[in-house]
Amino acid sequence: MDIKGKKAIVVGGASGMARASAQMLAERGASVAILDRPQSAGAEVADSLGGTFHPCDVTDGAATEAAIDAAVDALGGALHVSVNTAGGGIAKRTLTKEGPHGHDEFRGVIELNLISSFNVARLAASHMSRNEPEDDERGVIISTASIAAFEGQIGQV
């Protein structure tokens, strides 16, 4: 895909790998919208890239949909690239002397890493489906995972 002139959202774009992805996309000519937590550096990153910032907690499905819709509107109504790096975990044993790992804590990890990733992908795909095909493609969705998916550590859930 030729990135120049494309419209991109970067979820988690205020820091780390997503920030680097947003910078690369902007450097190659894409318009970029950053989605990240309200307290993040998302606004500053977006400003530095000439993009827009849309505060969002991806574990809130309705808020995520609203933020993606607002980002696509700010990008002129089209979406070609979606990068999602939002994720995290808890370093806690399944069972300790104090008792079992908290169920709600684990549910939060699943909500962030699995449910939210799927939600971002499905919403991005919906917007991309409106694009005219270019080389038989309408867009690209990139979701990342931690190396912990393959090399977990004791206590990592």
Binned at pLDDT 50, 70 and 90, residue 91 comes out as confident
Is 43 a member of any domain? yes
Helices (H), the chain: 16-27, 42-49, 61-74, 103-110, 116-128
Whether 2 is in a domain gets the answer no
pLDDT interval class at 94 (50, 70, 90): confident
How far is it, in rounded angstroms, from Cα 84 to Cα 87? 9
Q: Looking at the domain assignment, is residue 38 inside a domain?
A: yes
pTM of the entire predicted model:
0.91
Q: 109 lies in a domain?
A: yes
- Tell whether the model's pLDDT for residue 153 goes beyond 90: no
**35 token code pair:** 């989605």
Phi and psi of 18, rounded to 5°?
A: -70, -40
CATH label of the domain that carries residue 107:
3.40.50.720
Domain presence at residue 86: yes
91: left (phi over 0), alpha (psi -120 to 50) or beta: beta
Residue 50: per-residue pLDDT: 98
Asked whether residue 154 is domain-assigned, the answer is no
Q: Is residue 155 part of a domain?
A: no
Residue with tokens 């004791």: 154
What would the pLDDT profile of 9-65 be if each residue is shown by its tens digit?
A: 999 999 999 999 999 999 999 999 999 999 999 999 999 999 999 999 999 999 999
For the stretch 113-134, pLDDT in tens is 999 999 999 999 999 999 999 9
User: How many folded domains does the chain comprise?
Assistant: 1
Query: Domain span at residue 99?
Result: 7-147
The reply to whether 71 falls in a domain is yes
3 state DSSP class of 67: helix
